Structure 1
Amino acid sequence: MTKPGHLDRAAGVMVGLACGDALGAAYEFGGPYPADMPVEMKGGGAFGWEPGEWTDDTAMAVPLLELIETGERPRDLNLRLAVNGWLEWMEDAKDVGNQTSAVLGEAKLTARGDVYSMHVAALSAARDFQERFPDAAGNGSLMRTAPYGLVGQDLEYVAKTASGQSELTHPHPDAMAACAIWSAAIAHAVDTGELDIRKGLEASAGEVLDKDSQKLWLSRIEEAEAHPPEYFTKNGWVVQAFQCAWSSIVHSGDRADNDPQHVKRTLEMAVRGGGDTDTVAAIAGGLIGGAYGVSAIPLEWKRRIHGWPGWRADELVEHAVNATRVLKEYWKNFDNAWPSTDYCDYSDWRGIDSCVAHPHDRGVYLGGIGALDRLPSDVDAVISLCRIGRQQVPDTIDRENRVAVWLVDSSSPEDNQYVDFTLAEAADMVARMRREGKAVLLHCVQAHSRTPTVGALYATRHLGVPIDDALREVSAVLPMAHPNPAFVAALRRIANERDDA
């Protein structure tokens, strides 16, 4: 059986990677930055990134993710699929690392279009490059290694295969070891929710690391835990990129507190550390996203991220979930289920066609999933509180104005680990879109529990309506409204915290 939150955490790996990447893109080559400097997903930077656009860190991870999603072993000859994906990306890429560019460019010339020899050509070119530049140990393979955390629960296998993908462009022992340790730690995080880099080190012992190398890497981990991110000023080097990312995680919170804000603090701290900000934040994002899950990542970040090959957060979630499912025997027949479906069929459910104006804001509509088939003409933003298919939101709604919230209609803490955070994020997203002048549809399946809960919280947090009045008046306009007890308790906690503040 899968453990509670497994799919949430699997999705968090890729979305965390991309959010860190896009967040850091504007700050690359600068810093260190002041501890109180706001960190924004604002775009710009040396390569003119769009706000929310991810860089080569996430782009190079995508072909590895797609390979893992096939269920084929992500090693040896099968790596030709990743190499071909990278060559396709390089054709129009804004930024390609020097070592990566040199190795893949040579591999393309050597293979002469033979897709089956790309793997061998890349390995040969990488070895030649390493011989010419024996000290070359950049972070270009560590930045893309996160998808290997979705390979499975055999951490030794994860470590071995992750180090193998590094060999394609970065065969230096430090680069291969960093990928092995970090990827195994991500796999452990996805499986258990724990943040334990030493599990990755333990899994890398033997085939990847000999005893002396294990001691060296343990000392490097301890050094990262002893110093803040800005201490590691040469984070273009794979070792310091690794250390800077781990330092950002351990100095921004404690996993034992189960505080979802730890994710945001980690990525902001990674960026403030300066230097190769997008890469360090991407590396950190893959691990901490795998521990906390996509439900702990700020909705505004998820809303903005996008990049090659034309994906947004929804595609990252879909492919990450499928990658972690495909290796499990009992999940092989999932092609017609979420997230790999154009439409989630709720036709057997009652009351899905509700669509009414919010009693305290006529620019917000509250409804069931059937409202997506008959959108009010003024709606130009949709916040979905339930699972939907790829094509369920009409094309009239721009992609960046579609927000999917990972929220389960359940009173079990195992189903919604950060229910207060998730509900507040959803209510705040309604408010943000309204400030942007948008008319918003807020929906779940039946407008039974999730929609009235978030609708009431929006009225309380942003319109000043007392929580009991908001809950009663929102529920009164929705015929099936009956928020579950855990949601109601969360509403009261959030409202009381705001009153106390």
Structure 2
Amino acid sequence: MKTSQTLISTSKFLSLVLRHQDAMTGDAIVGCILGTAVGDALGLPYEGVSPMRAERLLGPPDRYRFLLGCGMVSDDTEHTCMVAQSLIEARGDVDVFTNRFASRLRWWILALPAGVGKATARSGIKLWLGAKPENAGVFSAGNGPAMRAAIFGAAIDEMSPMLEMVRASSRLTHSDPKAEYGAIAVALAAKHSRQHPTINANQWLDQVVDAVGEAGTELIELLQKAIDSVGERESTNTFADSLGLGKGITGYTYHTVPVAIYAWLSHPKDLRQAVTEMIRCGGDADTTAAIVGGIVGTGVGREGIPAEWIHGICEWPRSTVWMERLGASLSGCLAGDASARTPTVNPIAVLLRNLFFLVVVLFHGFRRLAPPY
């Protein structure tokens, strides 16, 4: 009798542990998606502006300045959402994931997104011209794969399957191994952020070294420099300046990723501080802030993201409510829920939204022609 009762008690305990783990993963996924979105939306009006002029032209990045006090998202968040949708449909199969993500990318390009990266645009066109997903990538070390990589670390526990998914996502658009290595570093940062209440930078770096091998030595050296510099408690902007990026972070992944990692390691549980410091570095501010937001958001969950930033995003049809539903569906899928379905969006609504978004982007472009310089 005691043995039977012990087995029942053990079974209940394991069930509670698994449910707790599922809840934590679900919160991490939602935090990752929303963290990416708020970083993207806050950084968007600062994109391409130098740090000095951004302060004079727009003011500090402490609130949304894109559309009448509201924020909108760009390709960084949209790609993260498409990855999450494709992961749900893949059910762990990397080939299915690749095909579903390729299909989404193909239709995403057709909806006329504003500000899409050159490599991603070219790969989307190649897909429309009949290229297979494994041949669609172009040789570029841009930060496109890194911008959508945090969701893999937020969602997938096992190292090998996670790395396979990151590689498939990267190679679909960027064939330069550097882009892949940067994405791996971001995904592992999000995974570490989710699994460790206290960040151990050296432990995380060891995992990156194992994943990228000797071919990633240049990136490893930059990441080691970031780790060494964190202890000096300098601002993210100061670290960027030490890398020769004082006028803004470029879209080159070996510029983007080390600075984003520095912002994460400096403020691993403070999304507000991490994201705003990242934006103050200038340059590709929406993507860099989206990466930082995704990593930190994975660790702090939805509750760790300022509520006014979540509610201040004015998006349709991919609203923040839709994003939370997407995160919940992905979490359910990973927990073995066969009924978990992929939230979809109306393609006509996406096209209309993109046309409106383009008008706002053009307004900002013309605004930059005027003083203050």
The alpha carbon displacement at 1:162 in A equals 0.7
Which of 177, 190, 194 is the equivalent residue of 2:194? 190
> Who is 1:319 aligned against?
326
- Could you give the per-residue CA deviations for residues 389-428 of structure 1, whole angstroms, max 9, x where no partner exists? xxxxxxxxxxxxxxxxxxxxxxxxxxxxxxxxxxxxxxxx
Counterparts of 1:71 and 1:98 in 2: how far apart (Å)?
Answer: 27
Q: 1:195 to 1:75 in 2, by over 3 A?
A: farther
Decide which moves more: 185-194 or 14-23: 185-194
Conserved 8 A contact 1:104-1:122: no
Name the structure where helix makes up a greater proportion of residues.
2
Conserved 8 A contact 1:185-1:196:
no
Contact 2:44 2:285 in 1 (8 A): yes
Q: Find the counterpart in structure 1 of residue 60 from structure 2.
A: 38
Does residue 105 (structure 1) correspond to residue 151 (structure 2)? The answer is no
- Match of 1:137, SS state, is coil
Q: Distance in 2 between matches of 1:66 and 1:297?
A: 22
Cα offset for 1:148? 1.1
In 1, Cα distance between the equivalents of 2:170 and 2:33? Answer: 18
The aligned amino acid for 2:179 is A
User: Aligned residue for 1:218?
Assistant: 220
* C-alpha contact 1:67 1:74 (8 A) present in aligned 2: no
State TM-score, norm by structure 2. 0.74
- Counterpart among 110, 126, 145 of residue 149 in structure 2: 145
Report the Cα offset of residue 14 of structure 1: 0.4
Q: Give the letter aligned to residue 261 of structure 2.
A: W
Amino acid in the other structure paired with 1:327: L
Where does 1:103-142 land on structure 2 (aligned, <5 Å)?
A: 103-110=123-130, 121-126=132-137, 129-130=138-139, 136-142=140-146
Gaps of 5+ in 1: 112-120, 131-135, 341-501
Q: Give, in whole Å, the separation in 2 of the partners of 1:249 and 1:96.
A: 25
Say if 2:92 is the partner of 1:73.
Answer: yes
Q: Which has the higher strand share?
A: 1
Q: Is the 8 A contact 2:28 2:154 kept in 1?
A: no
What is the Cα deviation at residue 184 of structure 1? 2.2
Q: Give the CA deviation at 1:59.
A: 1.0
Structure-to-structure mapping, 1:218-367, within 5 angstroms: 218-225=220-227, 226=229, 228-229=236-237, 230-231=240-241, 232=245, 233-251=248-266, 253=267, 255=268, 262-307=270-315, 310-329=317-336, 332=337
The separation in 1 between residues aligned to 2:281 and 2:184, in whole angstroms, is 24
For residue 158 of structure 1, what is the amino acid of its counterpart? M
Report SS of the residue matched to 2:226: helix
Residue 344 of structure 1 aligns with which residue? none
Q: Answer whether contact 2:166 2:183 (CA < 8 A) is retained.
A: yes
Equivalent residue number for residue 96 of structure 1: 116
Q: Secondary structure at the match of 2:72?
A: coil
Does residue 11 (structure 1) correspond to residue 30 (structure 2)? The answer is: yes
> 2:72 corresponds to which residue?
53
Q: Measured at CA, do residues 61 and 250 of structure 1 come closer, stay the same or move farther in structure 2, by a change above 3 Å?
A: same
Offset of residue 216 of structure 1: 3.5
Q: 2:115 is paired with a residue of what secondary structure?
A: coil
Match of 1:209? 212
Question: Which runs of structure 2 are paired with 1:428-439 in the superposition (5 Å)?
Answer: none
Rounded Cα–Cα distance in structure 1 between residues aligned with 2:304 and 2:272: 9
| Paired residues of 1:155 and 1:203 also in contact (CA < 8 A) | no
Mean Cα displacement is larger for which, 296-305 or 2-11?
2-11
Q: Retained in 2: the 8 A contact 1:189–1:196?
A: no
Distance in 2 separating the partners of 1:71 and 1:110: 22
**One-letter identity of the residue aligned with 1:60:** H
Deviations 1:89-112 (A, max 9, x none): 22231221111111211221125x
Aligned length: 306
SS in 1 for 2:271: helix
1:349 aligns to what?
none
Distance 2:191 2:255 in 1: 22
What amino acid does structure 2 have at the position aligned with 1:318?
R
CA contact (8 A) 2:89 2:97 kept: no
RMSD over equivalenced CA pairs, Å: 2.8
Deviation at 1:196, TM superposition (A): 4.7
Match status 1:84 vs 2:100: no
Q: Counterpart of 2:129 in 1: which secondary structure?
A: helix
Match of 2:11?
A: none
Q: Distance in 2 between matches of 1:276 and 1:286?
A: 16
Report if aligned partners of 1:185, 1:287 keep a CA contact under 8 Å in 2: yes
Does 153-162 or 272-281 show the bigger shift? 153-162
Residue 328 of structure 1: CA displacement? 2.3
- Asked whether the equivalents of residues 40 and 76 of structure 2 are also in contact (C-alpha less than 8 Å), the reply is yes
Greater alpha carbon shift after TM alignment, 223-232 vs 277-286: 223-232
CA contact (8 A) 1:64 1:82 kept: yes
Q: For residue 154 of structure 1, report the CA deviation from its aligned partner.
A: 1.1
Aligned mates of 2:293, 2:299 — CA distance in 1 = 10
Letter aligned with residue 312 of structure 1: S
Distance across 2 between alignment mates of 1:70 and 1:64: 10
Using CA pairs below 8 Å that are at least 6 residues apart, which structure has the higher relative contact order? 2
Contact 2:150–2:189 under 8 Å retained in 1: no
Give the secondary structure class of the aligned counterpart of 1:65. helix
Kindly report which structure 2 residues correspond to 1:379-398, keeping only aligned pairs within 5 A, or say none: none
Task: Give the TM-score of the pair, scaled to structure 1.
Answer: 0.56
Question: Is residue 333–residue 340 contact of structure 2 (8 Å, CA) maintained in 1?
Answer: no
- TM-aligned CA distance change 1:5 to 1:300, over 3 Å: same
Deviations along 1:415-454, one digit per CA (max 9) or x if unpaired, are xxxxxxxxxxxxxxxxxxxxxxxxxxxxxxxxxxxxxxxx
Q: Would the aligned equivalents of 1:15 and 1:289 in 2 still touch at CA under 8 Å?
A: yes
C-alpha displacement of 1:198? 4.8
Unaligned segments of structure 2, at least 5 residues:
1-17, 344-373
Distance 1:201 1:98, change over 3 A: same
